Chain A
Amino acid sequence: MIRRDFSERDIHMALDGELPGDERAAYDAWLDANPEMKARSARFTADRAALRAAFADVLDEAVPGHLHKVVLGEVPVKAAVPRSRWWLAAAAAVLLAVGGLGGYFAGIDGIGQEDPAEDRLAEQAIAAHVIYAAEKRHAVEVPASDKDHLQTWLSNRIGLNLVAPDLTADGFQLVGGRLLPAGESKAAMLLYEDGNGQRISLFVTTESTENAKGTYAAAQDGPEAVYWLDKGYGCAVVGSLPRERLAEVARSAYTQLVNGLAS
């Protein structure tokens, strides 16, 4: 019998048929002796079955006629310009977490270690929101009544053209903004309030990794952050709104922010 230590890695290998045959018996014995690993193996096995089932029908679908025609040369082959639809959908996949699943914080075991930048941005944005959105009289340094100065000042300090998004269509009025530290850089925080006194904040920083990435984060019991990182800047929208509403407001804010950057 092969004697070696098994680990979680072997669970994946066994599931994928990559475990050498002569190690199988020892692996099974190891699994039996480790209920936690056995349960994990069972969950992964069930997930794989569910994945296969979810896409099994695709093989039985009739192949769309135009795909046949492409292969048979019955439609002219154009230069390799990707059709827009599929890569838009690919990019949108990132945002599905906001609309569909939501609430998943990339902090569970072994995940999120590769992408600490997003976590850092979201944590800073949430921390700032928790501290300042709760302040009645000292929430902002520059009030919305001085909006032009607020925008110029923050733009100069953080080093990009910051235009405070107009969120009145979403029911939010600008309260004002402030300058904050963000790691070794600076961040602008813009605070908004709706008619019920519910507040959300926008957190914009120029500290961002090369690898642009968009995702979504939520703290367990506190406010949630919808955030994006792009080359050169990062942005988070934080609030304790229902998820769909927060995603909607964030979408509107982000679109305006990006337009502002380019103006």
Chain B
Amino acid sequence: MDEKKAAILGEIPRLRRYARSLLRDRDAADDLVQDCLERALVRLDNWQTGESPRRWLFTIMHHLFIDQMRKVNRRGEAAMLPLEAGEAVAQPAEQMESIASREIVDALQAISPDRRAALVMVAIEGFSYAEAANILGVPAGTLMSRIARGREELRGLLDDTARRRAIRIVEK
């Protein structure tokens, strides 16, 4: 097996984690990873020697994710699709043991894709601002604003969930 392929294999767990945080649903996330890997293999020659495989692969996956989100939003007829798919995805996700964990995963899905990607890239995947801005293809200032807004929005959603839970308990 050549070095490039070995390096790609080594990145799969990280790619799966990133995809899972973007999409939540396990099968959907693995489909995104598969699309990413297929595209990477087709473009293997574009991968510059010395370029980090992680950065290269994350860039490919992010483009796939964002392009598709935009297409879905642009097409009028596609506006119905989320309604149907929503039913499937709204099922309790497997392997989310604690309520706190499920709540934060739900909240993450509720923030805009751009903010979600920026926040996850830095807060979970541990990329620096410069690396994340490069992968996402945005200026550092935009990245920072997405991270800040993403964090505030996430906190707002969690506060809201907590408040609702408190109300439900009082009502009982």
Which residues of A84-103 are within 8 A (CB) of B?
85-103
B161 in contact with A92 (CB, 8 Å): no
B69 in contact with A82 (CB, 8 Å): no
Asked if A5 CB lies within 8 Å of chain B CBs, one says no
Which residues of B39-71 are within 8 A (CB) of A?
39, 41-42, 64-65, 68-69, 71
List A contacts of B95 (CB < 8 A). Answer: 57
A251 in contact with B83 (CB, 8 Å): yes
Most buried by A among B41, B104, B120: B104
Q: Kindly provide the distance from the CB of B52 to the nearest chain A CB, expressed in whole angstroms.
A: 17
Question: Interface of chain A, helix or strand or loop or mixed?
Answer: helix
B34 in contact with A258 (CB, 8 Å): no
A87 in contact with B124 (CB, 8 Å): no
A93 in contact with B113 (CB, 8 Å): yes
Q: Which of A17, A72, A73, A101 contacts B107 (CB 8 A)?
A: A101
Asked if A169 CB lies within 8 Å of chain B CBs, one says no
B30 in contact with A104 (CB, 8 Å): no
List A contacts of B129 (CB < 8 A). Answer: 16, 18
Q: Which of B8, B74, B144 contacts A12 (CB 8 A)?
A: B144
From known contacts A93-B113, A103-B160, A108-B156, infer whether A54 and B42 are also in contact, taking CB-CB under 8 Å.
no
Question: Nearest CB to that of B132 among chain A residues?
Answer: A16
Interface string of A57-95 (1 = CB under 8 A from B): 111010110111011110001101011011111111111
Interface residues on B, range: 35 or more
Asked if A111 CB lies within 8 Å of chain B CBs, one says yes
Cα(A68)–Cα(B37), bound, Å: 9
List A contacts of B120 (CB < 8 A). Answer: 51
Asked if A34 CB lies within 8 Å of chain B CBs, one says no
A101 in contact with B21 (CB, 8 Å): no
List B contacts of A186 (CB < 8 A). Answer: none
List A contacts of B87 (CB < 8 A). Answer: 99
From known contacts A89-B28, A214-B79, infer whether A96 and B38 are also in contact, taking CB-CB under 8 Å.
no
Q: Kindly provide the distance from the CB of B71 to the nearest chain A CB, expressed in whole angstroms.
A: 8
Segment of A22-30, A120-128, A150-158, A228-236 in the binding face? A228-236
Cα(A90)–Cα(B41), bound, Å: 24
A71 in contact with B152 (CB, 8 Å): no
Cα(A114)–Cα(B22), bound, Å: 21
From known contacts A9-B144, A18-B129, A90-B68, infer whether A258 and B41 are also in contact, taking CB-CB under 8 Å.
no
Q: Kindly provide the distance from the CB of A9 to the nearest chain B CB, expressed in whole angstroms.
A: 7
Question: Nearest CB to that of B6 among chain A residues?
Answer: A71
B153 in contact with A111 (CB, 8 Å): yes
B148 in contact with A90 (CB, 8 Å): no
List B contacts of A59 (CB < 8 A). Answer: 13-14, 17
From known contacts A16-B147, A55-B17, infer whether A88 and B28 are also in contact, taking CB-CB under 8 Å.
yes
List B contacts of A66 (CB < 8 A). Answer: 34
Cα(A13)–Cα(B51), bound, Å: 26
* A–B pairs, 26, beta carbons within 8 Å: A16-B122, A16-B129, A47-B104, A47-B151, A50-B100, A51-B21, A51-B108, A51-B124, A52-B123, A58-B20, A63-B13, A71-B41, A78-B38, A85-B25, A86-B19, A89-B28, A90-B68, A90-B69, A91-B81, A93-B24, A93-B113, A95-B83, A101-B157, A104-B157, A214-B82, A254-B79
Top 4 nearest A-B pairs (CB, nearest first) are A99-B90, A89-B28, A95-B86, A92-B85
